[in-house]
Amino acid sequence: MELLAGNKPVSQLIDRFGRIHDYLRISVTDRCNLRCTYCMPVEGVDWKPSGLLLETEEIVRVARLMAEMGVKKIRLTGGEPTTRKDLPLLVSRLVEVPGIEKVCLTTNGVLFSKYAQDLKRAGLSSVNISLDSLNRENFIRIARRDLLTSVLKSLNSALECDYQQVKLNMVVMAGINEHEMTDFVELARTKPVNVRFIEYMPFKGNRWDPFGVVTYNEMRSRLEARYDLRALPDTFISNRVAEDFMIPGFLGKVSFIASMSNSFCSTCSRLRLTADGALKACLFFPAQVHLRESLRANQSDEVIRRLIADAVLSKPKGHPDPSELEQLNDLSMIEIGG
Ligand code: SAM
Ligand code: SF4
């Protein structure tokens, strides 16, 4: 991978299989105020000492270097990103990075309503809110906290603040919340929200089992029995992760993310920076490259760029069978950020 011509970086982040990487997901904290059963290991997580987590200027430097190498979109995630005190400042610094076209957020919605306006002012483009149940008891069973009302308030704040896009992510689990899918679709009848149904994935410690997965085909045929789902243009021909549908008369839309039954590895354009500075080229494989020490040793931009390029070159072609994924990953989902 040729990185420099004179002093000017020219290359895109292209891996051994020709995939171009233009999307960076940054976990801004490993802390969280929920304890979702499908994400947080049963034994809990040892929070890293805060001194080991990247500081704002370190994150901005990585984003700048990666933008020079072709990254255009950033998504902030966690843990729960709104537990990071300087989140609006971080957003405002990232939107100023030349080449970054969009900064987005994925949040559990517990605190988001408090920051919705500040984040919008800071330049946040769009927000994904994770919500797996509209029923209080079921919400508590899944998230292990009684905070459904706060999440619903955040959904309304996001819509009021007029973000470019507001998406609601539901991880659909057999026997847990699958019966609520139509309640979520009903939200899209009157609200301009994109409700997204996500297949349940295995991660370290989340006690995933294949019988817990409701596949894309099952989810779609269940909804089609009741609604007139119409595929939006480009849904099946682009390299999009989600398949998007409209329903006549509905303000919002409905999507499916088939991460298990129809892996999108062949078009994956994502890189992930963990809160402590590891750069993951694949969601399921351990990180090959750690940036924090090099950043703190004040290594040159060229050295950091080389590390970033190494991470991209280490990216596997795809991930193995779902049954092997839980063992493969060295981190739980809460430590990666989705
Ligand atoms: N705390 C924030 C939130 O919940 O939106 C951001 C971090 S969370 C790890 C990011 C996304 O990963 C959420 O939408 C969550 O539902 C999803 N996620 C976590 N564990 C998952 C699993 N086992 N399968 C599928 N999605 C999962
Ligand atoms: Fe926290 Fe999000 Fe994981 Fe739930 S899904 S435990 S909110 S990081």
- Is there an atom of ligand 2 within 6 Å of 103 CB? no
Q: Is pLDDT above 50 for 247?
A: yes
More confident residue, 240 or 223: 223
Amino acid making up residue 261 = S
Q: Can you give the pLDDT at residue 131? A: 98
Expressed in angstroms and rounded, the spacing between residue 3 Cα and the centre of ligand 1 is: 34
Cross-strand bridge partners of residue 126: 104, 165
- Is there an atom of ligand 2 within 6 Å of 338 CB? no
Q: Can you give the pLDDT at residue 333? A: 82
Q: How far apart are CA 307 and CA 281, in angstroms?
A: 12
pTM: 0.94
pLDDT tens string 3-28: 543 444 446 899 999 999 999 999 99
% of the chain beyond a pLDDT of 90: 78
Q: How far apart are CA 26 and CA 218, in angstroms?
A: 32
Expressed in angstroms and rounded, the spacing between residue 34 Cα and the centre of ligand 2 is: 6
Q: Can you give the pLDDT at residue 238? A: 52
Report which ligand 2 atom has the smallest distance to the Cα of 78. Answer: 8
Ranges 151-155, 229-233, 238-242, 248-252: which has the least confidence: 238-242
- Is there an atom of ligand 2 within 6 Å of 291 CB? no
Expressed in angstroms and rounded, the spacing between residue 113 Cα and the centre of ligand 1 is: 19
Q: Can you give the pLDDT at residue 236? A: 60
Mean pLDDT of the chain: 92
Amino acid making up residue 334 = I
3-state secondary structure the chain: CCCEECCEECCCCECCCCCECCEEEEECCCCCCCCCCCCCCCCCCCCCCHHHCCCHHHHHHHHHHHHHCCCCEEEEECCCHHHCCCHHHHHHHHHCCCCCCEEEEEECCCCHHHHHHHHHHHCCCEEEEECCCCCHHHHHHHHCCCCHHHHHHHHHHHHHCCCCEEEEEEEEECCCCHHHHHHHHHHHHHCCCEEEEEECCCCCCCCCCHHHECCHHHHHHHHHCCCCCEECCCCCCCCCCEEEEECCCCCCEEEEECCCCCCCHHHCCEEEECCCCEEECCCCCCCCEECHHHHHCCCCHHHHHHHHHHHHHCCCCCCCCHHHHHHHCCCCHHHHCC
Q: How far apart are CA 194 and CA 206, in angstroms?
A: 27
Report which ligand 1 atom has the smallest distance to the Cα of 78. Answer: 7
Q: Which residue's CA lies nearest to atom 4 of ligand 2?
A: 36
- Is there an atom of ligand 2 within 6 Å of 312 CB? no
Q: Can you give the pLDDT at residue 5? A: 39
Q: Where are the domains of the chain?
A: 2-336
Q: Does domain 2-336 have CATH number 3.20.20.70?
A: yes
Q: Can you give the pLDDT at residue 146? A: 98
Q: Could you tell me if 23 and 72 are in contact, meaning their C-beta atoms sit under 8 angstroms apart?
A: yes
How much is the average pLDDT of 314-329?
Answer: 79
